[in-house]
Amino acid sequence: MFKKGDVISKLILVLFAAILLLMVLGGRLFTDIEEEAYESEETDRIVVGVSQLGSESGWRTANTESVQNVFTKDNGYFLLFNNARQKQENQIKAIRSFISQRVDYIVFAPVVETGWETVLQEAREAGIPVILMDRQVDVTDKSLYVTCVGSDFVEEGERAGRWLEKDLRKRGMDKETVNIVVLKGTEGSSSQIGRTIGFSVVASNHSNWNILEQEYADFTSAKGREVMEVFLKKHPDIDVVISQNDDMTFGAIEAIRDAGKTVGIGGDITIISFDAVNTALEMVADGIINVDIECNPNQGEYLSRVIEMLENGEKVENQYYVEENVFTIENVTRELIEERNY
């Protein structure tokens, strides 16, 4: 005869063993399915490994969508997508995994410019072409990647400076002291570096432009707000905010309003932003953001065209720049906002 306690403990044991078995089988099943899908696609589709740097901004979401919309099965691709959550080490890991899976192409948006030599050499040794998206890498051997698809960030920074020149002239303020603060994006990223250089080039021609401070705010709204709060406490007389992306701008505007100041056309502080995502363009149309320097995240089509050319053995350029605009209240219409996908 079994005691009641024995029966219960045996039952628990059996149940536990059954769960364990299910987990092992389930796990094998899932890995098998994934591998099988990949292997069968591999033969007739172009396998692309994409290492996206994160999901820090509205711009990034649009950029990711653009890539995912183009590298589809219907278009003849098999996409392996990885989000690195702002960490270079995660990107390196993802690229190594693409190499070991022997993808046909690696596309990646480098979070910062430096530190890529080793992993890019590994890709080259494996014979896998690398295409840069959005940002650049700082390597001496430029043949470590085939081409780049992205924006001219220095030009974007200069556009911001040229707009400010014109606006101050229009307002008769071109001889007055103008106090400027700059919210910079991720330290060491191409978009941060380029936009900073471009704006400084124009600023260096104006001795009355007084850059009070420049600080990194990581391209996020939360950090933009936090850094702006500090700026406002230290400097009661800020005239212009240059914010290197729309997300930081949203946070900065909140901080400015909390401090009891007004923004935009006719306000206390002029707002210059970058990206021109639709939420920001609404604010341009409402006169809250004075100018938005567009950065075009629709890079998927360009990337697939480049891959097509490479597949056909055609020569590709070193760099492809996407088309971009400058938006103010004068050229932003509701129709335009509705037409755009970001």
Task: Catalog residues that contact ligand GYE under the rule CB under 6 A.
Answer: 56-57, 59-60, 134-135, 151, 191, 219, 245, 247, 274-275, 295
Q: SS3 for 323?
A: coil
**Whole-number minimum distance, CB 122 to ligand GYE, in Å?**
24
**Whole-number minimum distance, CB 224 to ligand GYE, in Å?**
11
Q: SS3 for 192?
A: helix
45 versus 192: smaller Cβ distance to ligand GYE: 192
84 versus 128: smaller Cβ distance to ligand GYE: 84
189 versus 304: smaller Cβ distance to ligand GYE: 189
Residues 6+ apart with CB under 8 A from 104: 46, 47, 48, 128
Q: How far apart are the first and last CA of the chain?
A: 72
Query: Residue 324's closest CA among 206, 168, 160, 141?
Result: 160
**Long-range CB contact pairs, 94-98, < 8 A, 24+:** 94/49, 94/51, 95/49, 95/51, 95/119, 95/122, 95/123, 96/122, 97/49, 98/49, 98/51, 98/128
Burial group, residue 275, by CB count within 10 angstroms (0-12, 13-18, 19+): buried
**Whole-number minimum distance, CB 134 to ligand GYE, in Å?**
5
Number of Cβ within a 10 Å radius of residue 325: 14
186: which 2 tokens? Answer: 């991720």
Number of Cβ within a 10 Å radius of residue 8: 11
134 versus 167: smaller Cβ distance to ligand GYE: 134
259 versus 337: smaller Cβ distance to ligand GYE: 337
The whole-angstrom separation of Cα 200 and Cα 218 is 19
**Whole-number minimum distance, CB 195 to ligand GYE, in Å?**
8
**Whole-number minimum distance, CB 43 to ligand GYE, in Å?**
35
59 versus 250: smaller Cβ distance to ligand GYE: 59
203 versus 277: smaller Cβ distance to ligand GYE: 277
| 214, containing H or E segment | strand 209-216
**Whole-number minimum distance, CB 135 to ligand GYE, in Å?**
5
270 versus 296: smaller Cβ distance to ligand GYE: 296
**Whole-number minimum distance, CB 178 to ligand GYE, in Å?**
24
Q: SS3 for 11?
A: helix
Query: Residue 100's closest CA among 115, 119, 73, 113?
Result: 119
The whole-angstrom separation of Cα 242 and Cα 195 is 10
CB 184 within 8 A of CB 192: yes
CB 277 within 8 A of CB 16: no
**Whole-number minimum distance, CB 254 to ligand GYE, in Å?**
17
**Whole-number minimum distance, CB 276 to ligand GYE, in Å?**
10
203 versus 248: smaller Cβ distance to ligand GYE: 248
